[in-house]
Amino acid sequence: MTDENDKQDIPQDGYTFTQQVGHLMRKAYQKHLAIFQENASDPHLTSVQFVTLCALRDHGPSSQAELVKSTAVDQATIRGIIDRLKARGLIDISKDKEDGRKVIMSLLPAGLAVLDGMYPKARLITELTMKKLNPAERVALLYLLRKVSEDDDA
């Protein structure tokens, strides 16, 4: 016997958006962002700002194009992130010595201090995001996310 409410949940064409990869990934990402904001050592630091600071620490002084590539953040968004990080005194912006048209971002001591405070919290955030997964599922999730997100021409 089929419940009348069950019939209403399944569209006539069989396409249920709540079961689609984009919807599920968006929900998982929203959950992760909420966990990040709840647990960040700096309440004014966003996850994208954190990734940008991490990229500067890992790669050293970088141009805007290099930050776009290393963070997977689009050009328009990275500009605003750079402006906010500079306003907070976490990064410095200077002209490239070889190409005066190129702008270079560098991590300042205050930015390093924010990262030092965030790394233990970032590990906790990862743990809380994946807390429902067993060790094998965690490995599988990370493997599949890397595979889905890699460039087609890589």
| Spatial separation of the C-alpha atoms in residues 66 and 56, rounded to whole Å | 10
Is residue 72 in some structural domain? yes
Please give the residue range of the domain that contains residue 42. 20-149
Q: What's the domain count of the chain?
A: 1
pLDDT beyond 90 at 18 = no
Looking up residue 119, the CATH number of its domain turns out to be 1.10.10.10
49 is a domain residue: yes
Q: Is 137 inside a domain boundary?
A: yes
Task: Evaluate whether residue 7 is within a structural domain.
Answer: no
Model pLDDT for residues 33-84, shown as the tens digit of each residue: 999 999 999 999 999 999 999 999 999 999 999 999 999 999 999 999 999 9
Has residue 13 been placed in a domain? no
51, 33 Cβ separation under 8 angstroms = no
**Is 70 contained in some domain?**
yes
Mean pLDDT in residue range 8-27: 83
Above 70 in pLDDT, residue 7?
Answer: no
**Residue 100 included in any domain:** yes
Residue 140 lies in a domain: yes
Give the pLDDT of residue 47: 95
Q: Is the pLDDT of residue 100 over 90?
A: no
pLDDT of residue 51: 97
Q: How confident is the model at residue 151 (pLDDT cuts 50, 70, 90)?
A: confident
Q: Give the mean model confidence (pLDDT) for residues 123-143.
A: 97
